[in-house]
Amino acid sequence: MRLSEAVEKLRRQAAVSVQTGKENDARELLFQKKKVMQAMEKLKSRIELFDELAAKLNEAISVKESLLISNMALDLEVSEIKAPTPVRIVSPTEVSQNDTDDSQHLYMNNLEFPEDQELQVASDSQGDIHAENELKSHEESFSKKKSTGADSVQSSREISTFEEFMDHLDQQLNKIEEELETFLRFSNLLLGSKEKPEYSKVQHAIEILEGVRHTRERFTFEPLLTVA
């Protein structure tokens, strides 16, 4: 607007100069008017160039946003495909009836069932190795304490009834629960709140912890089968 006003002002002054006989002044004013109009044309071309660059920039931003959304959707699909299989925790009744249960495998290799239904120790070294492998299969980052295997064998030697076996199993589940809680506390400190549900190991540990707690609650509130 200011350049347009300047052009209009110069035109009027040139007209006045012509009317008053000042032709040289009129020529100078018209020359200045021409320069101002040339500056206006250059400014107009620059504005058009800026508009074109802005349009291309907006188009590039839109393409980047589309690629980002596509990558996020692909990551979610991959995380769903690689999601861990839900952990199945069997009830105490199934533990007493099925020798192939995962929790019973931790300790039953150290025990034998004679004909009179009394539990005895079978092999200490075999039970220690199997228990260690079972713990590693749940979570490789759990801390392995050297005294865990020895304590397990020592307590299993004192088992003589089914009720004592169930108490011993509850104690071992309690240890697993404490280790899971420790692992999750450290995970919360390291990972924070961002993207935490997307870490499959953390989610797997949470599911295992819930299953262990549910099993221990059933130990407490459901009636246990007794050995005749």
Residue 130: inside a domain, yes or no?
A: yes
Domain check: are 164 and 63 in the same one? no
Domain check: are 134 and 214 in the same one? yes
31 or 83: which leads in pLDDT? 31
Range of the domain at 114: 92-221
Domain check: are 65 and 137 in the same one? no
Residue 228: inside a domain, yes or no?
A: no
Domain check: are 147 and 212 in the same one? yes
What pLDDT, on a 0 to 100 scale, did the predictor assign at position 146?
A: 41
Cα–Cα distance for residue pair 34/41, rounded to 1 Å: 11
- Is a pLDDT exceeding 50 seen at residue 167? yes
Contacts of 28 (CB under 8 A, 6+ apart): none
What pLDDT, on a 0 to 100 scale, did the predictor assign at position 176?
A: 83
Dmax over CA atoms of the chain, in Å, equals 138
What pLDDT, on a 0 to 100 scale, did the predictor assign at position 114?
A: 45
Quote the mean pLDDT of the chain.
Answer: 64
Q: Each residue of 47-106: pLDDT tens digit?
A: 888 777 777 777 778 777 778 887 777 777 666 665 555 555 545 455 445 544 554 554
pTM of the full predicted structure? 0.29
Residue 86: inside a domain, yes or no?
A: no
Domain check: are 105 and 213 in the same one? yes
Number of domains in the chain: 2
Q: Are 77 and 47 in contact (CB under 8 A)?
A: no
Contacts of 130 (CB under 8 A, 6+ apart): 105, 106, 109
- Of 26, 52, 81, the domain-final residue: 81
What value does the mean pLDDT take over residues 155-167? 66
What pLDDT, on a 0 to 100 scale, did the predictor assign at position 64?
A: 75
Domain check: are 77 and 115 in the same one? no
Domain check: are 100 and 77 in the same one? no
Domain check: are 38 and 138 in the same one? no
Domain check: are 166 and 186 in the same one? yes
What pLDDT, on a 0 to 100 scale, did the predictor assign at position 120?
A: 43
Domain check: are 68 and 97 in the same one? no
- Of 48, 81, 114, the domain-final residue: 81
Residue 127: inside a domain, yes or no?
A: yes
Contacts of 191 (CB under 8 A, 6+ apart): 199, 202
Domain check: are 185 and 100 in the same one? yes
- Of 81, 110, 125, the domain-final residue: 81
- Is a pLDDT exceeding 70 seen at residue 161? yes
- Is a pLDDT exceeding 70 seen at residue 117? no
Domain check: are 9 and 75 in the same one? yes
Long-range CB contact pairs, 72-76, < 8 A, 24+: none
What pLDDT, on a 0 to 100 scale, did the predictor assign at position 113?
A: 42
Residue 48: inside a domain, yes or no?
A: yes
Segment among 43-47, 113-117, 134-138, 196-200 with least mean pLDDT: 113-117
- State the pLDDT confidence band at 222, using cuts at 50, 70 and 90: low
Cα–Cα distance for residue pair 46/151, rounded to 1 Å: 83
